[in-house]
Structure 1
Amino acid sequence: MNRLTFNLAFAVAFTAISITAFTLASLPASAAEQRFNIAKLQESSKAQGPHIQVALLSEYKSIWAASDTKTQWLGILLSPEDEWHTYWRNAGDSGEPPSVQWQSSTEIEFGEIQWPIPEQIPIAHLVNYGYSGDTLLMVPFTIKSSADFPETVKITADLSWLVCKEDCIPGWATLNIELPVSDKTANDPSLLSPHAPLFSKTRATLPDNRWLSAQYEITEDYLTLAASLPYESNWQLLPFRSDLIQHNSQQQWLLAENGADANVLLEKSDYFSHSEATVNFLLSDGNKGFYLTATLNDLAGAGSVTGGESTSLIGIERDASIGLMLVFAFIGGLILNIMPCVLPVLSLKALALAADKLGHSTTGNHWGYLLGILVSFWLFAALILVLKLSGEAIGWGFHLQQPLVIAALCFLFVFIALMLLDVVPNGAGISGFSGIGQKLTQGNSFASQFFTGVLAVIVASPCTAPFMATALGVAMVSPPVHTVLIFTALALGFALPMTLLSLTPRFAALLPKPGAWMETFKQFLAFPMLATVVWLLWVFLGQTNSLGQLWLLSGLLLFALCLWLASKVAGKASYTSVMIALFIASYASYQGSEQVGSQSAKSANNEFEKIAQPFSEQKLATLRNNNQVVVVNMTADWCITCKVNEQVAFTDRDLQQTLAQENVHYLVGDWTNKNREILAYLTRYQRSGVPLYVVYAGGGKEQVLPQILTPNIVITAIQQAQQELNYVSL
């Protein structure tokens, strides 16, 4: 039994060994085997670097006579370790391609490197183009007919490379090879070197010799290319230039019905520069490749580059872009209805509609609210266009950078709060003054609807919504027609809910039944208005100083006192009290706004402030040149979204520890007051206002963060930037 077991085990082992030997014998040369071949080469034709071996190879053992004009081939073999890689002619987001300088003992003409089809190598949020494993970079050469033929020709290659995994290591070597001169023909098989099969195998990985042609056009965000494809496949375009497209973006392919013609949208690089009329790509599906040269579409004219109107897909893409911005603006207008500055005013109007359910208003009056909002936003757009034409640099929220405007809003909101508390002048001599207040809050007349819309826009101006930022940024830098369209979409979104309530009985039926509760609710709404005043006072302090805030607080107190007195007396006394109240509002606003100083309402003991450094373009450039991670926060005291993010995200302990790391720098740009440097920075990212958050990985990739932040979003972006710096560090 034991002998039978032994025989059986021996047979199984012998069979396994035989199968393994047969399998290994049938496999192509592996990286390890090629490294073994490298080891057998002369020392002068090979080199060892960290995590890589390199060698200079020849397809033939010798060089034949000059009368034979057939091209011969040399090759640079790059053999990195597992999980390490080298680069294609365009490394992508980071890295450097290998380069070689040639010298020879006789007159030889060396050609360009023949690059095999590369693979896309994702690293963090980057995409690079390169090669994993052994790669032979073939270079053609020919001997000039006038060359003297010694017995041996010495060729020298000064080689440099970059090999990367999570970090990158550069390498340099001088490689030499000596080839005897032969009078045999190139077709003589005896001339082939032992490395000839590697050359043959590499030729199968080279792109096709045919050059395809295409046309391209340029828009604000995309490079749009039209070409005919060799066959249907999952194609990708790899540009020769690294500053042409965003390598990590999804290429949008639009195939024609015949499957051969295609248009592709390529997102432009942040470093895009239009310096050539012709750009070159590699069209690859991973198995085969074709070189493609694209020329600028002359039919589009200069408009495709300068921003004017153009034809073909460019016009379609631009129309789609402005359409998307109109959608964002409309959604942003809807969101404005629930912002804390706006909701009390709209609640007042809803209460008035509920109380007037049984009333009979003319249909035309229902459009007053919509018209009031449209007119207000159109006036805002007109003001912006006039200021832009005059050369004034402006952004969204520019009016809130003026202390006088903040002071005026404080008095307006206090007046509304007093009106909600029924503290309204009631003298006969000032019926016009009190009548305006009634029109703004009660009734369903056209004037009431119109002025409610105007007031809603005024109180909404400090409240920005995340969906508005991109649309408003485009509006600020777009042609006048697009600016007006975007503000119109914003107005329509803002007006829609209340317009439906006043216009459609089905929506009006959703309002609660009128009753005594309405008076209590109306008075309650005074407190959100007063809370808004508290916030505006804090903004005012940041723009001026404590003396300026004292002026404003004193003015608000006396203003409220005079209006209260006006509500208790009648006739000339009431009129006089109102006039005094208006004088106090004007004088206190002016005096308070003039008190501009450096004192700030921010707490110096706050950890958030300890980490932060003031933003400047010079500081940002210095830190990026020193390969530091930089987090830029563009904010303002009057920006509600900014303050929410700072309390929710930037006060998080883990994020503060991340920001406090040695190679991480946190720059804060405070746009509470007018600042041209910050506006120029915002404009660079097509933003008209704050917030804006950008994370930089040294001088490399930059990442724009969402406008609503969590600590993890910021921490992840910083870690990705650190990983990129480690990856590209030399």
Structure 2
Amino acid sequence: MAPGWHTYWKFPGDAGIPTEIKWNLPAGWKVGELRWPTPLKLKEPGDIEIYGYHDEVLLTQEITPPDQLAETSVKLAAEASWLVCEKICIPGSASMQLELPVGQTNAAAQSELFARFEKLSPQPWPADSRATASWKRSGTNLELMLTGSGFDSNSAADFFPIPPPSIVVGHPVVAARAPGRVDFRIPIETSDAGASSIDGLVVLGNQENRRAWTLPAPNRIIVNSGGSTNPDSRGILRFLVLGLLGGFILNLMPCVLPVISLKIFGFMQQAGQSRKRILRSGLAFTAGIFAWFIGLAVVLILLKSAGHQITWAFQFTNPYFVLAMSAVVLVFALNLLGVFEIALPQSASRAVSGWSDRGGEAGSFFQGMFATILATPCTAPFLGTALGFAFTQSSALLLLMFAAIATGMSAPYLILCAEPRWLRFLPKPGPWMSHLKQLMGFLLLATLIFLLSVIGAERGLGAVIWTSCFLLALSLACWIKGIWWTPVNPARTRFIAGLVMALLVVTSVVYFLGGKFRATNATPAELAGSGDWKAFTPAALRAELDQDRPVFIDFTAAWCITCKFNEATVLESAAVRDAFQQRGVVKIRADWTNADPEITKMLKQFGRPGVPLYVLYPAGKSSEPIVFPELLTKRIVLDKLETIGPHVAAQ
């Protein structure tokens, strides 16, 4: 590593991400655990303590071949990812491959390097009585007492914790020293009343002369006052409340307003109907919201278990998903504008006539799902913090968080349905509602324009053109359905109309999407690097900070409505632009439209599951980055800029 830079141990401390290595080995080969040399304790400004390595580090794993090898050579491959930091942090990754001949063992070319780091490998804690360790809990501290002949008062002693997810540790300190004894005090935060010890390393000496022993926590019974285990101690209830609030605020985001307006329109139609029917409609709408959120959580859990990085709104980084959403939005809009009506066949109509009071439940369910799908590119206030926490926790907690968000989003509709008297405050049904319905159709067409802009940012202008051609053919098919494929038309007419519709859709999918659209190349979003904004790369960020310039990073995406709102109303306003210029702030735009992996790692570094994210790096090596809230105002940005003081632009 370059001087001043460092990477992280398997438990990084207050900040950081440990190095990860994933092997792709031939069948029958086995790989052991990653062996970490004894780390160093590094201090950062702001009382931040991290555990890691500088200058160089060697991480080793033992790979065992099968008993019999028929090949004359074998190929070993691995994917490595890491985070290296100085005054900024830069994520890195590499794909490595090594082909080895099958034969007798040769002396390692780097035997001296391996021997040097082997001395830094922690040793097992002595099983005999040469050294003893005892733990006890004292309020919010763990106390560790070590005794043994090696613990003389002249050698440096330290403890590196390896806590479980249910315990958050502070900075271990030496509480007392005596010949043959050293006591540590380790602050902790946990709701686990039985937590009285943790795993860790006991380290004597420092730098190259340090020695370490692994100290496993003794077996203990974990008891909670509530009778069940609590998987997180950082105030899980607080994060769930944030998820609840974030879900509620999603109803106010521009992404979902067209669909929410449709639900309010449905409430107007239901005014005066039976309370039972209104409640069923609200429950169906809520079920649609929960179905999408829980389904999305399950997909994220499966991706996480497969080793993929999981992020919020990941599906919108796939242009084919955005294309499918564009088609669905167009069909909804044409239906509202009266181009065609969605009618069940006569046999199906007769089947549901006996329970007509439930007839609107399926529509309410899909409205709930549709609203939630459109909500996912938005990161409402409170939602980013809640999701950032949930994405680092267990599968059960991730499911619980998504259920909390679904509860927050569906709460207003459940309340309205539970108290139908409140529906009296809505306007009474009348002829004006047909005009309102058409207006909602135009709002959905506005949503379609937004989705087309996302496709343009992801795949370029050509993709927008071919998508528009497909949507035109789809519109023509819907128009044919509205005129010739209705229950009042003769069977022959419906057959011909259905055949023409199928040919239109299938031909356009094969030609425009399977051929033309697929041939378009992904291009960087046009906004990145435009005007006085520079495009983000880790090297570009490092170069600016090396020159002691303040840097503002806008983590954005073309499909993020909140991002676009913040950019249009705040970041591109005259007052904020002038403030950036007066302080010589370098503006960098990190466009995550296509899920750039380098930007994904930066988001993960700041504990965010997605965009928007706004970070200000003040000038000066010791300055900590300033993180902004998801929803910006001019006052918030100007106040934060005031804290970094004036800066000479020519610098």
Q: Same fold (TM over 0.5)?
A: yes
Cα pair 1:425 1:578 within 8 Å, conserved: no
> 1:485-527 CA distances to partner (integer Å, 9 max, x unpaired)?
1100111111112223333322333332211111111111111
Partner of 1:686: 607
Structure-2 change in CA distance of 1:574 and 1:693 (3 Å): same
1:502, 1:344 → 2: CA distance? 20
- Cα deviation 1:254-298 (Å, max 9, x = unaligned): xxxxxxxxxxxxxx9xxx9x8x743579xxxxxxxxxx9734679
Q: Judging changes above 3 Å, is the alpha-carbon distance between structure 1 residues 471 and 358 closer, same or farther for their aligned structure 2 residues?
A: same
Question: Is 2:443 the counterpart of 1:528?
Answer: yes
For residues 348 and 662 of structure 1, the distance between their equivalents in structure 2, rounded to whole angstroms, comes to: 47
Q: Give yes or no for contact 2:377–2:559 (8 Å, CA) kept in 1.
A: yes
- Which residue matches 1:674? 595
Please tell me whether residue 664 in structure 1 is matched to residue 585 in structure 2: yes
Q: Distance in 1 between matches of 2:243 and 2:384?
A: 9
Query: Residue 328 of structure 1 aligns with which residue?
Result: 242
| Counterpart residue number, 2:421 | 506
Q: Note if 1:388 corresponds to 2:310.
A: no
Q: Structure 1: 5+ residue runs without aligned partners?
A: 1-89, 95-212, 218-223, 228-243, 245-267, 282-291
- Tell me the residue number matched to 2:324: 408
1:649 matched to 2:570: yes
Partner Cα separation in structure 2 for residue 448 and residue 376 of structure 1: 15
Of 358, 376, 389, the match for 2:292: 376
| Per-residue CA distance 1:160-216 (angstroms, 9 max, x = gap) | xxxxxxxxxxxxxxxxxxxxxxxxxxxxxxxxxxxxxxxxxxxxxxxxxxxxx9978
In the alignment, what sits opposite 1:294?
Answer: 185
Which residue is equivalent to 2:251? 337
In structure 2, how many angstroms separate the alpha carbons of the residues matched to 1:402 and 1:476? Answer: 20
Give the structure-1-normalised TM-score.
0.55
* Structure 1 residue identity aligned to 2:498: Y
Structure-to-structure mapping, 1:460-479, within 5 angstroms: 460-479=375-394
The answer to whether the 8 A contact 1:612-1:667 is kept is yes
Q: Which amino acid is the alignment partner of residue 291 of structure 2?
A: V
Aligned CA distance change for structure 1 residues 580 and 343 (closer, same or farther; 3 Å): farther
Report the Cα distance in structure 2 between the residues aligned to 1:324 and 1:617, rounded to whole angstroms.
34
Instruction: Give the drift of 1:418.
Output: 0.5
Instruction: Give the Cα–Cα distance (whole angstroms) in 2 for the partners of residues 347 and 549 of structure 1.
Output: 27
Structure 2 residue runs of 5 or longer lacking an equivalent are 1-42, 48-134, 144-159, 161-167, 177-182, 189-193, 202-215, 486-493
Correspondent of 1:706 among 618, 624, 629: 629
Q: Distance in 2 between matches of 1:464 and 1:717?
A: 21
Deviation at 1:312, TM superposition (A): 9.2
Question: d(CA) in 2 for partners of 1:652 and 1:343?
Answer: 25
The one of 565, 568, 579 aligned to 2:483 = 568
TM-aligned CA deviation for residue 462 of structure 1 = 2.8
Deviation of 1:714 after TM superposition, in Å, equals: 2.9
Deviation, 1:551, is 0.1
Look up the match of 1:32. none
**1:419 matches 2:335:** yes
Native 8 Å contact 2:583 2:646 kept in 1: no
Shift of 1:366: 4.8
Residues 704 and 296 of structure 1: CA distance in aligned 2, closer, same or farther (over 3 Å): closer
Q: CA deviation at 1:694?
A: 1.0
Provide the secondary structure at the position in 2 that maps to 1:424.
coil
Task: Trace 1:168-207 onto structure 2 (pairs within 5 A).
Answer: none
Change (3 A) 1:430 1:544: farther
Q: SS of the residue aligned with 2:616?
A: strand
- Structure 1 residue 479, shift from structure 2 partner: 1.2
d(CA) in 2 for partners of 1:374, 1:323: 20
User: Compared with structure 1, are the counterparts of its residues 723 and 584 closer, same or farther at alpha carbon in structure 2 (3 Å cutoff)?
Assistant: same
The one-letter code of the counterpart of 2:185 is A
Confirm or deny that 1:493 pairs with 2:408: yes
> Could you list the per-position Cα deviations for residues 12-62 of structure 1 after superposition, in whole angstroms to 9, with x for gaps in the alignment?
xxxxxxxxxxxxxxxxxxxxxxxxxxxxxxxxxxxxxxxxxxxxxxxxxxx
Q: Aligned partners of 1:500, 1:309: CA distance in 2, in Å?
A: 43
Indicate if the aligned counterparts of 2:136 and 2:196 stay in contact, CA closer than 8 A: no
Q: Give 1:724 deviation, angstroms.
A: 10
AA at the equivalent of 1:648: T
Q: Does the 8 Å CA contact 2:333/2:444 hold for their aligned counterparts?
A: yes
Q: Which amino acid aligns with 2:328?
A: L
Give the secondary-structure state (helix, strand or coil) at the position aligned to 2:631. coil
**Among candidates 622, 628, 636, match of residue 543 of structure 2:** 622
Q: Distance in 1 between matches of 2:369 and 2:634?
A: 38
Once superposed, which parts of structure 1, at least 4 consecutive aligned residues long, lie more than 6 Å away? Answer: 213-217, 303-306, 308-313, 426-433, 723-726
Residue 680 of structure 1: how far off its partner (Å): 0.8
Summarize the Cα distance change of 1:277–1:663 in structure 2 as closer, same or farther, 3 Å threshold.
same
CA offsets 1:312-355 (integer angstroms, 9 cap, x no match):
99x99945622111111111211222333423323333333433
2:506 maps to: 583
DSSP-derived class of the 2:644 partner: helix
Change (3 A) 1:699 1:594: farther
Distance 1:666 1:699 in 2: 18
Instruction: Give, in whole Å, the separation in 1 of the partners of 2:221 and 2:575.
Output: 49
- How much does 1:649 deviate? 1.9
2:38 corresponding residue in structure 1 = none
Q: What SS is found at the alignment partner of 1:515?
A: coil
What residue is the counterpart of 1:456 in the other structure?
A: 371
Q: Cα distance, 1:637 vs. partner?
A: 0.8
Describe the shift of the 1:581–1:319 C-alpha distance in structure 2 as closer, same or farther (beyond 3 A).
farther
> How many matched pairs?
454
Number of the residue aligned with 1:153: none
SS at match of 1:488: helix
For residue 460 of structure 2, the aligned residue among 528, 538, 545 is 545
> Does 2:612 match 1:717?
no
Contact 2:459/2:520, CA 8 A, preserved across alignment: yes
| TM superposition shift of 1:624 | 2.8
Question: Secondary structure of 1:649's partner?
Answer: helix
> Aligned partners of 2:361 and 2:199: how far apart in 1?
46
Hey, what does 1:11 align to over in structure 2? none
Q: Secondary structure of the residue that 1:695 maps to in structure 2?
A: strand
User: Would the alpha carbon gap of residues 413 and 295 (structure 1) be closer, same or farther in structure 2, given more than 3 Å must change?
Assistant: closer
The aligned residue for residue 518 of structure 2 is 594
Q: Distance in 2 between matches of 1:310 and 1:302?
A: 12
Which residue number corresponds to residue 695 of structure 1? 616
User: What residue identity is the alignment partner of 1:572?
Assistant: F
Note closer, same or farther for the CA distance 1:565–1:316 as it changes in structure 2 (3 Å cut). Answer: closer
Letter of the structure 2 residue corresponding to residue 481 of structure 1: A
Please state how far the C-alpha of 1:723 moved relative to its aligned partner.
Answer: 6.4
Counterpart Cα distance in 2 of 1:614 and 1:216:
51
| TM-score in terms of structure 2 length | 0.61
Q: Which amino acid aligns with 1:556?
A: L
Q: Is this contact kept in 2: 1:301–1:310, CA < 8 A?
A: no
Quick one: distance in 2 between partners of 1:670 and 1:326? Answer: 29
For residues 593 and 294 of structure 1, do their structure 2 counterparts lie closer, same or farther at Cα, with a shift above 3 Å needed?
farther
Contact 2:583 2:648 in 1 (8 A): no
